[in-house]
Amino acid sequence: MKALAGVFDVAEVETPYGGAAVSYEALGYAWLKLGARRRRERTGAGGTRAVETVTAETRADTRLAEGRVLRFGGADWRIVSGDCVGGRAILGLERVR
């Protein structure tokens, strides 16, 4: 399946009241060829969370760096890994539900 994804840089700033303000800066778009989605549970200090992962293939682009966000299909996916092979980028994406 192919999808057009918006590429965003994420900036988190702590508020004076102890919270966090998150802003997204649009960097452009990328076409993705998506693999199969996998779902698992991750246990942490805040409890158990469902984590969905997917592998995506696209053209190599310097904007596709770890920590940035791809927005497609009505959800935000964080780039957790990326490898470039012959002009193609293989990205590991995840989102927490």
- What confidence category does residue 97 fall into, taking pLDDT thresholds of 50, 70 and 90? confident
Task: Answer yes or no: are the C-beta atoms of 94 and 67 closer than 8 Å.
Answer: no
The C-alpha atoms of residue 84 and residue 13 are separated, in whole angstroms, by 31
Question: Which pLDDT tens digit goes with each residue over 12-60?
Answer: 999 999 899 999 999 999 999 999 999 988 787 778 888 999 999 999 9
Q: What is the mean pLDDT of the chain?
A: 92
Q: Which domains does the chain have, with CATH numbers?
A: 2-96 (2.40.10.270)
